[in-house]
């Protein structure tokens, strides 16, 4: 009797594994199909990204040769850099756009490197005044401004940049000389010209 029970248990386990085999094979087939579909989607996505990248042009500026943008954006950035190099001995920016220092291979005009281009909401009035005083005597100082970007970065939103002496100085003390897309290059009014 003991042998019969063992044989019965063995037979019933064998039948179960035979019955479960199609389920296991089906589950494996489904998993393989899902992996193939995911792989195909991934490869197609990479192909689309590569096509977009190849459809763009190199920025072509120092430190940014591998950066790809539209032809218009590249032309705007290159023209802005060329205008800064031609017209400006030094420049500040509103808001922070430090890539332009790399592209023009210039340094910020003062020891207040972080503060010249930092949103003025982070600077107290005394420090803003020190930046103004440090840049006031620089002949050929320019301002590169991107007003839409400044508004987006400002916690004041569409209301523009926060009030303060530095923003006031930058807006009142400079005259526009060129535009490049959303960028405007301004040059400080000569100290010999009437205010």
- Residue 15 inside a domain? The answer is no
Please tell me whether residues 36 and 127 are part of one structural domain. Answer: no
- Residue 44 inside a domain? The answer is yes
- Residue 132 inside a domain? The answer is yes
Please tell me whether residues 93 and 158 are part of one structural domain. Answer: yes
- Residue 194 inside a domain? The answer is no
Q: Which domain holds residue 51?
A: 30-57
Query: Would you call 142 exposed, middle or buried from its count of C-beta atoms within 10 A (0-12, 13-18, 19+)?
Result: buried
Please tell me whether residues 82 and 169 are part of one structural domain. Answer: yes
Please tell me whether residues 179 and 100 are part of one structural domain. Answer: yes
Please tell me whether residues 127 and 152 are part of one structural domain. Answer: yes
Please tell me whether residues 81 and 35 are part of one structural domain. Answer: no
- Residue 6 inside a domain? The answer is no
With contact defined as beta carbons under 8 Å apart, do 126 and 178 qualify?
no
- Residue 110 inside a domain? The answer is yes
Please tell me whether residues 183 and 114 are part of one structural domain. Answer: yes
Nearest-angstrom CA–CA distance, 124 and 127: 6
With contact defined as beta carbons under 8 Å apart, do 141 and 88 qualify?
yes
Q: Give the model's pLDDT for residue 9.
A: 44
Q: Which of 145, 142, 135, 143 is CA-nearest to residue 88?
A: 142
Write out the chain's pLDDT in tens, 195 residues. 555 544 544 455 555 555 567 777 878 888 888 888 887 787 777 778 778 788 899 999 999 988 999 999 999 999 999 999 999 999 988 887 889 999 999 988 876 554 444 555 566 788 888 888 888 888 999 999 988 887 776 655 545 566 678 888 888 888 999 999 999 999 988 765 444
Q: How many Cβ atoms are within 10 Å of 162's Cβ, its own excluded?
A: 15
Please tell me whether residues 41 and 82 are part of one structural domain. Answer: no
| Number of structural domains in the chain | 2
pTM over 0.85: no
Q: Give the model's pLDDT for residue 122.
A: 60
Please tell me whether residues 179 and 134 are part of one structural domain. Answer: yes
Please tell me whether residues 46 and 76 are part of one structural domain. Answer: no
Q: Give the model's pLDDT for residue 100.
A: 93
Q: Give the model's pLDDT for residue 21.
A: 77
Please tell me whether residues 83 and 150 are part of one structural domain. Answer: yes
Please tell me whether residues 37 and 131 are part of one structural domain. Answer: no
């Amino acid at each position: 009797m003991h042998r019969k029970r063992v044989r019965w248990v063995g037979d019933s386990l064998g039948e179960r594994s035979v019955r479960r085999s199609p389920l296991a094979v089906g589950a494996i087939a489904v998993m393989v199909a899902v992996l193939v579909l995911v792989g195909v989607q991934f490869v197609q996505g990479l192909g689309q990204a590569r096509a977009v990248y190849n459809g763009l042009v190199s920025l072509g500026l120092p430190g940014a040769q591998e950066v790809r943008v539209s032809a218009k954006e590249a032309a705007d950035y290159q023209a802005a850099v060329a205008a800064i190099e031609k017209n400006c001995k030094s420049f500040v920016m509103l808001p922070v756009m430090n890539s332009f220092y790399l592209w023009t291979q210039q340094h910020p005009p003062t020891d207040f490197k972080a503060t010249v281009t930092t949103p003025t909401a982070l600077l107290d009035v005394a420090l803003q005044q020190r930046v103004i005083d440090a840049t006031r005597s620089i002949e050929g100082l320019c301002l590169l401004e991107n007003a839409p970007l400044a508004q987006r970065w400002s916690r004041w939103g569409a209301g523009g940049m926060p009030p303060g002496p530095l923003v006031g100085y930058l807006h009142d003390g400079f005259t526009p000389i060129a535009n490049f897309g959303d960028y405007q290059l301004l040059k400080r009014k000569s100290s010999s010209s009437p205010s």
